[in-house]
Amino acid sequence: MNFVPPHIDWAALTPVLIVLGAGLLGILVAAFVPRRARRGTQVALSALAIAGALVAVVWRWTVVTVDGPQEVAGGSLIEDGPALLAQGIIAIVALIGLLVIADRSEWGEDAFAAQVGTRPGSPEEAEAQRAGLSQTEVFPLVLFATGGMLLFPAAGDLLMMFVALEVLSLPLYLLSAMARRRRLLSQEAALKYFVLGAFSSAFFLMGAALLYGFSGSLRLSELAVAVPSTGGMDGLLLAGSVLLIVGLLFKVGAAPFHMWTPDVYQGAPTPITGFMAAATKVAAFGALLRFVYVVVPGLSWDLEPLLWGVAILTMGVGTVIALVQTDVKRMLAYSSIAHAGFVLVGVLALVQDGISSVLFYLLAYGLATVGAFAVVTLVRERDTEGNVTGEALHLSQWAGLGRRSPGLALAMTLFLLSFAGIPLTGGFIGKFTVFAAGVEGGATVLVVLAVLASAAAAFFYVRLVVLMFFTEPDGERTAVVRSEGLTSVAIAVCALGTVLLGVVPGPVLDLAQQAATFLP
């Protein structure tokens, strides 16, 4: 029996190859470039790689528009409209998130531990901080995670989907443990993320194994063909699909698989939280969209009750628990859970507009999320001696921020209004299109519940706005720090994007409509 190697169109893999290749170069930079030039080299390399990947995605979009979608690497990867648009959104969000990750405060301090291997609070850690050491390995890890995210929504078979899942997850586990302050909390968060991530991977693998036993193939297209004729193996098919979907729902932070989200969002370095919260959701929902729209339509009658239950529970849990949070990062974490429920409305619509609306929503949500967490990195607390220390995370510490820094408070207000779905923001257009797709797909009851949850969620967003602009500050416990300027650029770009998506959404919606067809 002769082995016939698959033909690989390397040009179609250009975005992924650029990012992963730069990640490998980043490891060499960390090993051989002198310490003084190491950080600048890593930042430039990472920014050029992600920007190059974005340009490559645009180029491949023009090719697919002319030549049509195609299978790559023997069908392991798919180059079609949804995959390329998801990759473009990931590249945009990752590039903006990189600005926040690379930024340093006015006294040269970044968000990451000077030496991650040292024990929190030990003399070795203090000595590393005094020496001004910088953990530049952050940048290759961000690139590897971004490379896995680019692969995830383009995966055409379950094995490649699992590989992409692990490539994006493993660097995030490490990055979550690297916070400069509250190191023990950061390490605890990373451990929880890793353990629960291992469970989700096990669910995914078991589901893939059952689906392979059912169809004899890991290819999504062949699974879709096999679904109508179950041959008496309905249980194998349903169990495999449910387990696989559970693995994907973990990554999007849907309830009841959300337990890692608040702890990891709170404990991880805030720039990593913003990057992870935005980019991972895009990648995971891209993969979930492909599985649901390619394989699940033949199982919609069987899986619809389960998926509806997950969507309703996700919106309810995220909204209700966010109402009682007093920590800004935990509030945004539960907000992200609620948003996962809103996006699931578009996923469950099972109409073409559901694909385009979900992708638009993810872009609007990603910009607002990176911008909001970027603002959090600049709002710091003071100790009893007046020294500026860690981030001001208690809601009470944000009182009067509109007087201390009107521009920063206005930007945060814009992002919160976008989360709430207020008109003239990208969040409003995203929610409107997702809910319209849900109605078109016959999920009117689910849309009504989503609208009610969205209205209730507006309370905790408005509460923070009231604190910033209409509440007297309690002393001088809060300060707004200056940085090198990269975070300010990221906030400005996110604010501009949020406004443009709300005021002139037409071009992006048209682009999403053109991309809303999966290759069978």
pLDDT tens, position by position, 305-328: 889 999 999 999 999 999 999 999
Res. 126: pLDDT tops 70: no
Residue 29: pLDDT over 90: yes
Identify the weakest region by mean pLDDT among 91-95, 389-393, 511-515: 389-393
Flag whether pLDDT at 202 surpasses 70: yes
- Reference 332, options 371, 379, 288; nearest CA is 371
CB-based contact 222:215 (threshold 8 Å): yes
Asked if 311 contacts 344 with a C-beta cutoff of 8 angstroms, the reply is yes
* Confidence grade of residue 1 (pLDDT, cut at 50, 70, 90): low
Residue 414 clears pLDDT 80, i.e. is over it: yes
Q: Which helix (H) or strand (E) holds 338?
A: helix 328-349
Q: What tokens were used for 515?
A: 């991309």
Residues in the chain: 520
Q: Do residues 145 and 166 make contact, with C-beta atoms less than 8 angstroms apart?
A: no
pLDDT value, residue 207: 95
pLDDT at residue number 14: 95
pLDDT band with cut points at 50, 70 and 90 for residue 518: confident
158-175 and 138-151 are packed helices; what angle lies between their axes, rounded to 10 degrees? 160
Q: How far apart are CA 235 and CA 239, in angstroms?
A: 6
In angstroms, the CA 433 to CA 440 distance is 10
